[in-house]
């Protein structure tokens, strides 16, 4: 049986992961309206990935005999001034998620919940990749600025994401 404190914290994280999916869908919509279809596709795939993260925790809670409590999902921001501003927010958001996951690991240690500690190791590794991807794209955008030609080249590159 999963400790109640861990159950509550993981339920909060399910909500946060679904919020991340909403945020990335909102960013995808923004990119659609700015005719950056590759950026939009990248964000839509990212949204699906965040949904899968939420469901991974959801399934884990059930497997441990916990109760899933789905909370209201906050509405995400809908407008940005540039692709660079979007990716600044993506990178900051992923750093925030990393801190949340680290907090869950700390809680698992305090609770001596070895199963949750083990499950969360996957998320620790995933967040390294998430931050790396966001920071690399942000660095590319920062180096090219809002110059249409190079921005469309990057857009084409991001469209290749599977």
Query: Could you tell me the domains of the chain?
Result: 4-147 (1.20.1260.10)
What is the rounded average pLDDT of the residues 98-117? 98
Query: Does pLDDT of 145 surpass 90?
Result: no
Do residues 85 and 137 lie in contact, with contact meaning Cβ atoms separated by under 8 Å? no
Query: Does pLDDT of 68 surpass 90?
Result: yes
Confidence of residue 146 (pLDDT cuts 50, 70, 90): confident
Q: Picking from 8-22, 74-88, 136-150, which range would have the lowest pLDDT averaged per residue? A: 136-150
What is the rounded average pLDDT of the residues 126-134? 98
Quote the CA–CA distance of 93 and 98 in Å, as a whole number: 9
Quick one: tokens of 146? 């809002």
Quote the CA–CA distance of 62 and 3 in Å, as a whole number: 13
Quote the CA–CA distance of 25 and 46 in Å, as a whole number: 8
What is the rounded average pLDDT of the residues 87-99? 98
Whole-number percent of the chain with pLDDT over 70: 100
What confidence score (pLDDT) does residue 162 get? Answer: 87
Do residues 73 and 26 lie in contact, with contact meaning Cβ atoms separated by under 8 Å? no
Quote the CA–CA distance of 123 and 99 in Å, as a whole number: 11
Whole-number percent of the chain with pLDDT over 90: 97
Quick one: tokens of 118? 């083990």
What pTM does this model have? 0.96
Do residues 36 and 83 lie in contact, with contact meaning Cβ atoms separated by under 8 Å? yes
Q: What is the pLDDT of residues 20-64, one digit of tens each?
A: 999 999 999 999 999 999 999 999 999 999 999 999 999 999 999
| Mean pLDDT score across all residues of the chain | 97
Quote the CA–CA distance of 6 and 62 in Å, as a whole number: 13
């Amino acid at each position: 049986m999963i400790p109640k404190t861990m159950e509550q914290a993981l339920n909060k994280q399910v909500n946060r992961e679904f919020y991340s999916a909403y945020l990335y869908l909102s960013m995808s919509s923004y990119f659609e309206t700015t005719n950056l279809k590759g950026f939009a596709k990248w964000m839509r795939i990212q949204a699906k990935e965040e949904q899968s993260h939420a469901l991974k925790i959801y399934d884990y809670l059930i497997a441990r005999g916990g109760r899933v409590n789905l909370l209201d999902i906050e509405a995400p921001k809908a407008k940005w001034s540039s692709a660079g501003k979007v990716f600044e927010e993506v990178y900051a958001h992923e750093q925030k998620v990393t801190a949340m996951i680290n907090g869950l690991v700390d809680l698992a240690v305090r609770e001596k919940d070895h199963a949750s500690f083990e499950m969360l190791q996957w998320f620790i590794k995933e967040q390294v990749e998430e931050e790396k991807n966001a920071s690399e794209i942000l660095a590319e955008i920062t180096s090219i600025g809002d110059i249409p030609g190079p921005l469309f080249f990057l857009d084409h590159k991001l469209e290749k994401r599977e």
